[in-house]
Amino acid sequence: MRQSLILVLILGALLLMPKEHTDPAGHAADASSLPTATPVPPVLFMGDSITMGAFVSAPENMFIVRVQRYLKTRGLDATNDTVWTLDPSSDLRAAQKIAASHRRLIIVEIGVHWAAFDAVQFREVYGAMLDCLAGSGATVVVGNIPWLNWPPGTPVYFEMAYYSQIIREEAARRGIAVADLWAATDRRDDAISRPGQPCFASPDCEGDNFHPNDTGHALIAAAFEKALDVALAGPPPANNGRCDFDAYLSALANGRPVPVHR
């Protein structure tokens, strides 16, 4: 409950910020309100509470703001839109809208909230989402799951390490550059927010022993910048991916197993 309240406060703080080029979240939005006005900003971040900047001490320490500054040095307009989602259904619906929004660059940080899938389902649906985004003609850079204080040697640690590997493999199959967030943060205790470390959402907000802190966001940003160096060096990969997720969405809505086609 406390985490949910803090995330709501963070989202409210981001929405109240002036929407200027230095706005850390741009047009913060959920999947149902993705901006469609033209001209659209060329860069779009798609992610979960980490992309939203949960538990960093100040907005300028969010990884997306750090990446904005990097993109500006590469000649890309640093203005961005951010789509924040927290479950596979909203991720898939957002991907459909993003693919139709004519972006030049899509930066994805999604995965930890997909842990309800088994590994086969995870691979199937994540791959389909990547097909959809890459099929838009945009350059896509995807981050896998960062280490979020899961004790080494435990089942959840190995599960998340494996899901991160699946993201690497599915991106590689499509020629999509990967920011290896797992490798960058694995067992980095100094990268996890802790009680007593302030966060910008509210005066009483403090670390939660789960989300990345300022150090974690700096590591995540550096991993994305490394992947962007690769992705921006050439044209986006050819991809004719479809964005038809009806079967997946129907299964998720009705509590049925997600269909697997490969």
Does the pLDDT at position 22 exceed 80?
Answer: no
57 falls within a domain: yes
pLDDT at 202: 86
CATH number of the domain that residue 239 is part of: 3.40.50.1110
Does the pLDDT at position 30 exceed 60?
Answer: no
258 falls within a domain: no
Q: What is the mean pLDDT of residues 154-180?
A: 96
261 falls within a domain: no
Range of the domain at 52: 2-253
How far, in Å, CA of 67 to CA of 142, rounded? 13
| High-pLDDT (> 70) share of the chain, % | 81
In this prediction, residue 147 has a pLDDT band, given cuts at 50, 70 and 90, of very high
78 falls within a domain: yes
pLDDT at 39: 65
Q: What is the mean pLDDT of residues 84-109?
A: 91
**Domains contained in the chain, number:** 1
9 vs 260: which has the higher pLDDT = 260
What are the pLDDT digits (tens) for 33-58?
554 545 678 899 999 999 999 999 99
In this prediction, residue 209 has a pLDDT band, given cuts at 50, 70 and 90, of very high
6 vs 122: which has the higher pLDDT = 122
Looking at every residue in the chain, the average pLDDT score rounds to 85
